[in-house]
Amino acid sequence: MDIRKSPALFMLSIAAISLTGCTDRIGMAGQAMSEIRNSPSQPIEPPPEAKLVEDFVYSASLVRSPFLPPSLINVQGPNIPSDGVRPDITRIKQPLEQYDIAQLTFRGILISPEGQQYALVQRPDGSVANVKVGDYLGPNDGRIVEITPTQINLIEIVPDSRAGFIERPQSLVSPIN
Protein backbone atom coordinates (compact mmCIF):
# COMPACT_ATOMS: atom_id res chain seq x y z
CA MET A 1 0.00 0.00 0.00
CA ASP A 2 1.26 3.44 -0.83
CA ILE A 3 1.49 5.80 2.17
CA ARG A 4 0.83 8.83 0.00
CA LYS A 5 -2.59 7.51 -1.03
CA SER A 6 -3.88 6.83 2.51
CA PRO A 7 -4.13 10.01 4.61
CA ALA A 8 -4.68 8.14 7.88
CA LEU A 9 -1.61 5.98 7.35
CA PHE A 10 0.37 9.08 6.37
CA MET A 11 -0.62 10.89 9.61
CA LEU A 12 0.19 7.80 11.66
CA SER A 13 3.66 7.57 10.15
CA ILE A 14 4.28 11.30 10.83
CA ALA A 15 3.24 10.83 14.47
CA ALA A 16 5.53 7.81 14.83
CA ILE A 17 8.48 9.76 13.40
CA SER A 18 7.75 12.68 15.76
CA LEU A 19 7.62 10.41 18.80
CA THR A 20 10.80 8.72 17.70
CA GLY A 21 12.47 12.14 17.59
CA CYS A 22 11.31 12.85 21.17
CA THR A 23 12.52 9.48 22.35
CA ASP A 24 15.88 10.10 20.74
CA ARG A 25 16.18 13.48 22.47
CA ILE A 26 15.32 12.00 25.86
CA GLY A 27 17.77 9.19 25.26
CA MET A 28 20.47 11.64 24.21
CA ALA A 29 19.89 13.76 27.32
CA GLY A 30 20.02 10.67 29.54
CA GLN A 31 23.23 9.51 27.88
CA ALA A 32 24.82 12.96 28.31
CA MET A 33 23.84 13.03 32.00
CA SER A 34 25.32 9.58 32.60
CA GLU A 35 28.57 10.68 30.89
CA ILE A 36 28.72 13.73 33.18
CA ARG A 37 28.08 11.58 36.26
CA ASN A 38 30.77 9.07 35.29
CA SER A 39 33.42 11.66 34.37
CA PRO A 40 36.06 12.51 37.00
CA SER A 41 35.30 15.61 39.10
CA GLN A 42 37.04 18.83 38.21
CA PRO A 43 39.08 20.71 40.83
CA ILE A 44 37.46 23.89 42.18
CA GLU A 45 39.41 27.07 41.69
CA PRO A 46 40.22 28.97 44.90
CA PRO A 47 38.29 32.21 45.42
CA PRO A 48 39.99 35.43 44.35
CA GLU A 49 42.12 37.21 46.90
CA ALA A 50 40.11 39.82 48.85
CA LYS A 51 41.33 43.38 48.42
CA LEU A 52 41.52 45.58 51.49
CA VAL A 53 39.40 48.72 51.27
CA GLU A 54 40.41 51.81 53.17
CA ASP A 55 38.00 53.04 55.84
CA PHE A 56 36.01 56.11 54.85
CA VAL A 57 35.66 58.84 57.44
CA TYR A 58 32.58 60.99 56.86
CA SER A 59 33.74 64.51 57.55
CA ALA A 60 30.58 66.44 56.66
CA SER A 61 28.55 65.44 59.72
CA LEU A 62 28.63 68.98 61.11
CA VAL A 63 27.65 70.59 57.79
CA ARG A 64 24.02 71.47 57.00
CA SER A 65 21.91 68.49 55.95
CA PRO A 66 20.67 68.84 52.35
CA PHE A 67 17.40 67.14 53.37
CA LEU A 68 16.21 69.82 55.82
CA PRO A 69 15.12 73.37 54.93
CA PRO A 70 17.47 76.07 56.26
CA SER A 71 14.76 77.42 58.58
CA LEU A 72 14.74 74.13 60.51
CA ILE A 73 18.52 73.92 60.62
CA ASN A 74 18.78 77.28 62.38
CA VAL A 75 16.20 76.30 64.99
CA GLN A 76 17.35 72.72 65.44
CA GLY A 77 21.08 73.38 65.69
CA PRO A 78 23.51 70.47 65.71
CA ASN A 79 22.26 66.92 66.30
CA ILE A 80 24.08 66.66 69.61
CA PRO A 81 21.74 65.76 72.48
CA SER A 82 21.52 68.54 75.00
CA ASP A 83 20.77 68.18 78.69
CA GLY A 84 18.78 71.43 78.54
CA VAL A 85 16.10 70.14 76.13
CA ARG A 86 13.00 69.20 78.10
CA PRO A 87 9.28 69.52 77.43
CA ASP A 88 7.62 72.29 79.41
CA ILE A 89 5.27 70.36 81.70
CA THR A 90 3.77 73.58 83.11
CA ARG A 91 2.63 74.81 79.67
CA ILE A 92 -1.11 74.53 79.00
CA LYS A 93 -1.67 72.11 76.12
CA GLN A 94 -3.28 73.48 72.96
CA PRO A 95 -6.27 71.71 71.34
CA LEU A 96 -4.34 70.22 68.38
CA GLU A 97 -1.80 68.55 70.68
CA GLN A 98 -4.26 65.76 71.43
CA TYR A 99 -3.94 64.45 67.85
CA ASP A 100 -1.05 62.57 66.29
CA ILE A 101 0.58 64.45 63.39
CA ALA A 102 -0.54 61.69 60.98
CA GLN A 103 -4.19 62.38 61.93
CA LEU A 104 -3.98 66.07 60.99
CA THR A 105 -4.19 67.43 57.42
CA PHE A 106 -2.68 70.72 56.27
CA ARG A 107 -5.29 72.44 54.08
CA GLY A 108 -3.73 75.83 53.23
CA ILE A 109 -2.76 79.25 54.54
CA LEU A 110 -4.59 82.46 55.39
CA ILE A 111 -3.13 85.92 55.82
CA SER A 112 -4.95 88.29 58.13
CA PRO A 113 -5.44 92.00 57.25
CA GLU A 114 -2.63 92.75 59.74
CA GLY A 115 -0.26 90.45 57.77
CA GLN A 116 -0.27 87.54 60.26
CA GLN A 117 0.04 84.19 58.47
CA TYR A 118 -2.15 81.31 59.64
CA ALA A 119 -2.21 77.67 58.54
CA LEU A 120 -5.49 75.79 58.25
CA VAL A 121 -5.29 72.32 59.84
CA GLN A 122 -8.10 69.78 59.53
CA ARG A 123 -8.81 67.54 62.54
CA PRO A 124 -9.89 63.87 62.17
CA ASP A 125 -13.53 64.88 62.77
CA GLY A 126 -13.43 67.20 59.73
CA SER A 127 -13.38 70.52 61.59
CA VAL A 128 -10.68 73.04 60.69
CA ALA A 129 -8.47 75.01 63.10
CA ASN A 130 -6.08 77.84 62.38
CA VAL A 131 -2.53 77.89 63.79
CA LYS A 132 0.39 80.29 63.55
CA VAL A 133 4.13 80.17 64.12
CA GLY A 134 4.75 79.44 67.80
CA ASP A 135 1.63 77.28 68.25
CA TYR A 136 1.89 73.58 69.07
CA LEU A 137 0.74 70.44 67.19
CA GLY A 138 0.90 66.75 68.05
CA PRO A 139 1.68 64.83 71.22
CA ASN A 140 5.45 65.53 71.20
CA ASP A 141 5.37 69.26 72.00
CA GLY A 142 5.67 70.10 68.28
CA ARG A 143 6.26 73.87 68.09
CA ILE A 144 5.53 75.44 64.68
CA VAL A 145 8.63 77.25 63.37
CA GLU A 146 7.61 77.93 59.75
CA ILE A 147 4.51 77.94 57.56
CA THR A 148 4.98 77.66 53.79
CA PRO A 149 2.31 77.29 51.09
CA THR A 150 2.93 73.53 50.98
CA GLN A 151 3.80 72.52 54.55
CA ILE A 152 4.04 73.34 58.23
CA ASN A 153 7.51 72.80 59.72
CA LEU A 154 7.78 72.16 63.43
CA ILE A 155 10.29 71.03 66.02
CA GLU A 156 9.25 68.20 68.35
CA ILE A 157 10.79 67.25 71.66
CA VAL A 158 11.10 63.47 71.75
CA PRO A 159 12.77 61.04 74.16
CA ASP A 160 16.17 59.76 73.08
CA SER A 161 17.82 56.44 73.88
CA ARG A 162 19.61 57.81 76.96
CA ALA A 163 16.55 58.78 79.02
CA GLY A 164 16.88 62.40 77.86
CA PHE A 165 15.18 64.46 75.18
CA ILE A 166 16.22 65.75 71.77
CA GLU A 167 14.67 68.16 69.30
CA ARG A 168 13.55 66.58 66.02
CA PRO A 169 12.22 68.34 62.90
CA GLN A 170 8.80 67.26 61.68
CA SER A 171 6.60 68.49 58.84
CA LEU A 172 2.90 68.44 58.12
CA VAL A 173 2.73 68.42 54.31
CA SER A 174 -0.26 69.42 52.22
CA PRO A 175 -1.86 66.47 50.37
CA ILE A 176 -1.45 66.55 46.60
CA ASN A 177 -4.67 67.66 44.89
User: What is the pTM for the complete model shown?
Assistant: 0.52
pLDDT digits (tens, 9 = 90+) for 10-54: 666 666 666 555 557 888 999 999 998 998 888 888 888 888 888
Q: In the 8-state DSSP scheme, what is residue 110?
A: E
> For residues 139 and 93, what is the distance between their CA atoms, to the nearest angstrom?
9
